[in-house]
Structure 1
């Protein structure tokens, strides 16, 4: 059996052993040595896809007669901080459990107690999709992914960030217009902070169009 796991985003939530355990139901079902005609490939795919960290699985017979398994992992883009148990949010807005095997380096999200729970339903509706789009933007931008240490959503649904470097709070406002707001923020980082110093300001607001407020 040949197993290939896609690690395009350097995620290691599932390995060869976990895939084999899913295929054999923890060793209860033999695959090695079983006649190919007695193996239900679609059923094997479903077994692998039952793992929350698997986005897609492809099981097929190769020209060599062996069973080949290709696994594409889910891609977490945020960690939702909860009083009971933290969870991951993936790029599609699905909720994933934490893993004992691997910890993803993604932005943690906290929220006001006044805001409804950040569950799967929240990120699937028209309002919540704006937050998902914002997180997708951050995940795909090398600079902001490295610089933003934490995201908070207040009771009115407004977003703020704490940076990795600097002592200021970034007041982002509603999650829309992410590209324009981050462009303004980049001006602050490139043109203001090098002149004024990284500890000069306690808050930076990019919520309003055509202005940056620094205090």
Structure 2
């Protein structure tokens, strides 16, 4: 009989603990979002602000503080953020203390098209609108539109990844036949690049030419430097 009583007590204890655990779990699920926190993955100027992301998080009842955690659809919230034209990727999750956190990666412009329509080309080679919050310091591009801008992407990507080129190149101009002229900072000669083929070779040739001409104090003696003829640099003096 004593054994049976101990068994019954143990069973009652298990039932009570299970009930309390289930009750606590249910209360945790029904508890509303306590706070919203937005974190950008890189320390940089913002093309989309924290306030804009917060607004996206709470719109369409996606993450309103009055919505309980059981009702919240994280996939829906992520899709909403990723559909924004300035966001490259967003990950949204809930913390144990009821906070909704969003980790946001912005799109990165590498060139700015100037003309009848103005927009950026981003680091993935896609058209990106201008931001009302910040203007990127990237090469200006003339003579381009949405139908032909992708052809110059290999050139811009190479410039972006090279400190020397980034320091000296301020813009690109599209010429006939999808050939390009490069605008330079503080150098008084025209730099013709040709088409978008052999990008690394052409820029390496230009850097070798620049280094040699700088050493010989001849940079100011040229009016035209042409990189489009394979592995040679053709120069025209003033």
Shorter-normalised TM range: 0.7 to 0.9
Q: Are the aligned partners of 2:48 and 2:131 in contact in 1 as well (CA < 8 Å)? A: no
Aligned residues: 201
1:21 aligns to what SS in structure 2? helix
Q: Are the aligned partners of 1:11 and 1:73 in contact in 2 as well (CA < 8 Å)? A: no
User: Which runs of at least 4 in structure 1 moved beyond 3 Å after TM superposition?
Assistant: 27-30, 121-124
Candidates 136, 139, 142, aligned match of 1:104: 136
Pair 1:180 & 2:201 matched: yes
1:137 aligns to what SS in structure 2? helix
- 5+ long unaligned stretches in structure 2: 1-35
Q: Are the aligned partners of 2:110 and 2:121 in contact in 1 as well (CA < 8 Å)? A: yes
| Corresponding position of 1:118 | 145
Residues 137-156 of structure 1 aligned to structure 2 (within 5 Å): 137-156=158-177
2:230 aligns to what SS in structure 1? coil
Normalized per residue, the structure richer in helix is 2
Q: Are the aligned partners of 2:179 and 2:193 in contact in 1 as well (CA < 8 Å)? A: yes
- 1:87 deviates by 0.4
1:63 aligns to what SS in structure 2? coil
Q: Are the aligned partners of 1:5 and 1:15 in contact in 2 as well (CA < 8 Å)? A: no
| Corresponding position of 2:47 | 13
| Corresponding position of 1:114 | none
Q: Are the aligned partners of 1:11 and 1:75 in contact in 2 as well (CA < 8 Å)? A: no
TM-score (norm 1): 0.86
Larger Rg: 2
| Separation of aligned partners in 2, 1:122 and 1:204 | 25
1:202 aligns to what SS in structure 2? strand
TM-score (norm 2): 0.78
1:38 aligns to what SS in structure 2? coil
Pair 1:210 & 2:231 matched: yes
C-alpha spacing 1:173/1:30, structure 2 compared with 1 (3 Å): closer
Q: Are the aligned partners of 2:63 and 2:77 in contact in 1 as well (CA < 8 Å)? A: no
Q: Are the aligned partners of 2:179 and 2:196 in contact in 1 as well (CA < 8 Å)? A: yes
The RMSD of aligned alpha carbons is 1.9
